[in-house]
A and B are shown apart, each in its own frame.
Chain A
Amino acid sequence: MVPGSFLLFHRGGGLWGIDSGQVVRIGPGRSESAPGEAETEAGGGTLRVELAGGSAPAAGPVALAADRVEGVVAGLAVRPLSTALRTFWPEAGFGIALYSGRPVILLDPLHLPLPLVASGGPDA
C-alpha cells in the first residue's frame, strides 16, 4: 500500500522520501560528511531522522542522516524502481517519484540504504 505522505529530505546530493508515519523525531545529528560531499549544507552538521523501528528489531538501524529536510508531501505519483535503476543501485527502495521536477527515491523503512543510515546517537 502506498503511504499517504512522505517526509522528503536531502542527503548525499539526492532527494529521498520516507513514509511520514514512520518518523518519530527529527533532531540534530552528529557532524559528518554526506557521501560525495565535502560538507553538508547545514554548516557541517546533519539532521537525524528517527524512525519507528522499535517494533521491528530485525529491521536494524532506525535513524537516517539528512542534510536538510524538504518537508512532508502527499499525493506523489509513485512508480516502481526501474530495472536499470535496480541493476545499478543495489539497494531496496519503495519506489520513485518526481517532486518539483526532481527525482525522489522513496525508501523502504525495513531496508534502509546503508549510505543514508545515521551513525551513532544524536548529539544533544
Chain B
Amino acid sequence: MDAPKANETPAGERSGHLLVRVGEQICAVPVGAVRRVVRALTVHPLPGARAELAGLAEFAGEPLPVLDLGRLIGAPIGPHPLFPVTVVVWSRTADGREAIGLAADEALEVVDLSAASWLPTAGFLVGEALVGDQVVRVLDPDQLGAG
C-alpha cells in the first residue's frame, strides 16, 4: 500500500489546514504545503495563459507562477479583485516540488480537519468540509500542476 503523500490526509486523521478566503469562498490548504503567506506579489500577465493563471512574479529569487484562486475554484468575485495576499504553496511533482502562488483575499486561521468528514470531490479540490457553519473547499496543491 502506498504511503500517503505529505499533502494528503489519511481518512480519520486530523491535520492542520490554513483557511484562505477568496470572495465569499473559503479554501483549506494543508499547512504542510504552505511555504509562506505574503503581501500580494507584483504579478506580470502572460498573454495566452488560461484565465486561472494571473501571471508570473518573483519570490525568494525564483520565478513564481501565481494562480487566481477565485478563478481556480470558480468563486464569484468582483470585476476588479485586489487579492491583497499571496499564499505560496509547495506542489509536489515527479521531479520534486515547485512553488506556486495563490492570489487571495486573506489568510484566516489554521484549523484541524479530518479527511473522514470531507465530502470527496475531484481534481485539486479534494473535498468539502464544514467549519462552523461555513462550507470549506479543501485544496490539494499537488494536483495543481495536473490541470
Contacts and interface: CB of A to CB of B under 8 A. Distances in A.
Interface of A: 11-15, 34-36, 79, 82-91, 96-98, 101-103, 105, 113-116
A98 B62 contact: yes
B43 to A, nearest CB: 9
Interface residues of B, number: 28
Contact of A87 (B44, B45, B58, B145): B145
Nearest to B52: A88
A35 B65 contact: no
Contact of B49 (A15, A83, A88): A88
A115 B48 CA distance: 6
A71 to B, nearest CB: 18
The secondary-structure label for the interface of chain A is mixed
A12 B48 CA distance: 10
Contact of B47 (A35, A87, A88, A103): A35
A20 B94 CA distance: 32
Given A14-B56, A83-B145, A113 B47 contact: yes
Interface of B: 44-50, 52-53, 55-58, 61-65, 67, 91, 93-94, 98, 100, 144-147
- The interface centre, meaning the residue of A85, A90, A115 with most chain B CB atoms within 10 A of its CB, is A85
A14 B46 contact: yes
B144 A84 contact: yes
A15 B48 CA distance: 14
B67 A88 contact: yes
Contacts of B46: 12, 14, 89, 105
18 contacts: A13-B47, A14-B44, A14-B45, A14-B55, A36-B47, A82-B65, A82-B98, A82-B100, A83-B91, A85-B56, A87-B147, A88-B50, A88-B65, A88-B67, A89-B46, A89-B50, A90-B48, A103-B44
